[in-house]
Structure 1
Amino acid sequence: METGKQLSGTLAVAVFTAALGSLQFGYSLGVINAPQKVIERHYAMSLGVWSERSALLENSTEGEGSSEDQTHPDVVMYWSLSVAIFSIGGMISSFLVGFIGDFRGRVKGMLMINVLAVAAGLLMGLCRLWKPHIMVITGRAIMGFYCGLTSGLVPMYIGEIAPKAYRGALGTLHQLAIVIGILLSQVIGLDFVLGNDEMWHVLLGLSGAPAILQSFMLPLCPESPRYLYILLGKEQEARKSLHRLKGAYDPASDLEEMRKEKEEADRQPRVSIRSLILSSVYRQQLLVSLMMHLSQQLSGINAIFYYSTAIFSKAGVSQPVYATIGVGVINTVFTLVSVALVDRAGRRTLTLVGLGGMCCCAVAMTVGLRFQNNFSWMSYVSMTAIFLFVSFFEIGPGPIPWFIVAELFSQGPRPAAIAIAGCCNWTSNFIIGMTFPYIQAWLDSYVFVLFAVLLFGFTIFIYLRVPETKGKTFEEIAAFFQKKQRINKDNAELQQLKTSSDA
Structure 2
Amino acid sequence: MNRLCYEARFCCRSRWTASGLNFICIQLIIFRKDKRYLLFSLATAVIGSLQFGYNTGVINAPEMKLKSFFNVTWYKRYNKDIDPGVCTIVWSVAVSIFSVGGMVGSFSVGVIANQFGRRRSMILVNSLAVIGGLLMGFSTICSSYEMVIAGRLVIGLFCGLFTGLTPMYVGEVSPTPLRGAFGTLHQLGVVVGILIAQIFGLEALLGSDDLWPLLLALTVAPAVLQCILLPFCPESPRFLLINLNREEEARNVLVRLRGSEDVRKDLQEMKEESAKMAMEKKVTIAELFRTAAYRQPLLIAIMLQLSQQLSGINAVFYYSTGIFSSAGVQQPIYATIGAGVVNTIFTIVSLFLVEKAGRRTLHLLGLGGMAVSALLMTVSLLLDNIAGMSYVAILAVMLFVAMFELGPGPIPWFIVAELFSQGPRPAAMALAGCCNWTANFLVGMSFPTLQGWLGSWVFLIFTGLLIVFFIFTFIKVPETKGKTFDEIARGFSSGAPPPSSSTEDPPASASTAVTLPASPVKEKVPLVEAPAAAPSPVAETTPLEAKQGSTGEQVEQV
Which of 109, 114, 119 is the matching residue for 1:102?
114
Letter in 2 for 1:332: T
Match of 1:37 in 2: 64
Structure-1 residue corresponding to 2:462 = 451
The answer to whether the aligner puts 1:155 opposite 2:155 as a matched pair is no
- Does 2:130 match 1:118? yes
2:494 is aligned, of 475, 487, 490, to 487
Partner of 2:402: 391
1:332 paired residue number: 344
Equivalent-residue separation in structure 1 for 2:299 and 2:251 (angstroms): 34
CA–CA separation in structure 1 for the residues paired with 2:180 and 2:454:
38
The Cα shift of 1:337 comes to 2.2
The 3-state SS of whatever aligns with 1:130 is coil
Question: Is the deviation greater in 185-194 or in 395-404?
Answer: 395-404
Deviation at 1:407, TM superposition (A): 5.9
Whichever residue aligns with residue 478 of structure 1, its letter is F
User: Would you say the 8 A contact 1:152–1:418 is kept in 2?
Assistant: no
- Residues 311-338 of structure 1: CA deviation (Å, up to 9, x unaligned): 6457653212211221122112222223
Q: Does 1:427 align with 2:438?
A: yes
1:372, 1:252 → 2: CA distance?
Answer: 65
Q: Measure, in 2, the Cα distance between the counterparts of 1:276 and 1:248.
A: 43
| 1:9 equivalent in alignment to 2:21 | no
Letter of the 1:37 partner, please give it. M
Residue pairs, 1:295-314, within 5 angstroms: 295-305=307-317, 308-309=320-321, 312-313=324-325
Q: CA deviation at 1:344?
A: 5.2
Task: Look up the equivalent residue of 1:113 and give its one-letter code.
Answer: V
Q: 1:121, 1:205 within 8 Å by CA — same for their partners in 2?
A: yes
- 1:487 to partner: Cα distance: 3.1
Q: Which residue of 2 aligns with 1:193?
A: 205
Q: Which residue of 2 aligns with 1:494?
A: none
Q: How far did 1:78 drift?
A: 3.9
Relative to structure 2, which stretch is displaced further, 167-176 or 208-217?
167-176
Aligned counterpart in structure 1 of residue 55 of structure 2, from 28, 31, 40: 28
For the structure 1 residues 460 and 53, does the alpha-carbon distance in structure 2 shift closer, same or farther, using more than 3 Å as the test?
closer
What is the CA deviation profile of residues 149-183 of structure 1, one whole-angstrom value per residue up to 9, with x for unaligned ones?
Answer: 11222233334444455444433332222222222
Note closer, same or farther for the CA distance 1:77–1:456 as it changes in structure 2 (3 Å cut): closer
Name structure 1 gaps, 5 residues minimum: 55-69, 471-475, 492-503
- In 2, Cα distance between equivalents of 1:420 and 1:75: 33
1:271-316 per-position Cα deviation (integer Å, ceiling 9, x unaligned) = 4444455455655554443333222101122344477546645765
Match 1:217 to one of 206, 213, 229: 229
**Per-residue displacement from partner, 1:214-255 (whole Å, max 9, x unpaired)?**
112223333344444444444444444444444438555555
Structure 2 regions of 5+ residues with no counterpart? 10-21, 30-34, 499-558
Q: SS state of the match for residue 397, structure 2?
A: helix
Structure 1 residue 140 corresponds to structure 2 residue 152:
yes
Partner of 1:478: 485
Moved more, 281-290 or 99-108: 281-290
**CA distance in structure 1 between the aligned counterparts of 2:115 and 2:295, rounded to whole angstroms:** 26
Instruction: Mark the CA change 1:84 to 1:104 in structure 2 (over 3 Å): closer, same or farther.
Output: same
Give the C-alpha shift of residue 342 in structure 1. Answer: 4.2
Indicate conservation of the 8 Å contact 1:168/1:342, yes or no. Answer: no
In structure 2, relative to structure 1, the CA distance for the partners of 1:121 and 1:53 (3 Å cut) is closer
What is the deviation of 1:437? 3.9
> Following TM superposition, by how much is the alpha carbon of 1:451 offset from its aligned partner in structure 2, in angstroms?
2.8
Specify whether residues 106 and 404 from structure 1 end up closer, same or farther in structure 2 by C-alpha distance, changes over 3 A only.
farther
1:436 paired residue number? 447
Query: Does structure 2 retain, via aligned residues, the 8 Å contact 1:165–1:343?
Result: no
Which residue of structure 1 aligns with residue 93 of structure 2? 81
Helix, strand or coil: the match of 1:127?
coil
Identity %: 50
Q: How many residues align?
A: 470
Distance 1:129 1:384, change over 3 A: closer
* Contact preservation (8 Å) 2:373, 2:396: yes
Change (3 A) 1:380 1:179: same
User: Residues of 2 paired with 1:168 and 1:80: CA distance?
Assistant: 37
Distance across 1 between alignment mates of 2:330 and 2:383: 21
Residues 96 and 419, structure 1, Cα contact 8 Å, conserved in 2? no
Per mean C-alpha deviation after superposition, the further-off stretch among 258-267 and 212-221 is 258-267
Contact 2:106 2:433 survives alignment (8 Å): yes
- When the two chains are superposed, the root-mean-square deviation of aligned CA atoms in Å is 3.7
For residue 140 of structure 1, report the CA deviation from its aligned partner: 1.6
- The 8 Å contact of residues 173 and 339 in structure 1, kept in 2 or not, is answered as no
Distance, in Å, in 1 between the alignment partners of 2:180 and 2:411 is: 8
Seen in structure 2, the aligned counterparts of structure 1 residues 447 and 477 have a Cα distance that, compared at 3 Å, is farther
Residue type of the alignment partner of 1:482: A
User: TM-score, structure 1 length as denominator?
Assistant: 0.79
1:321 is aligned to 2:348? no
The 3-state SS of whatever aligns with 1:334 is: helix
Equivalent-residue separation in structure 1 for 2:198 and 2:110 (angstroms) = 32
Q: What TM-score do the two structures reach when normalised by structure 2?
A: 0.72
Native 8 Å contact 2:92 2:444 kept in 1:
no
Assess if the C-alpha contact under 8 Å between 1:347 and 1:469 holds in 2.
Answer: yes
Match of 2:502 in 1: none
Secondary structure in structure 2 of the residue aligned to 1:356: helix
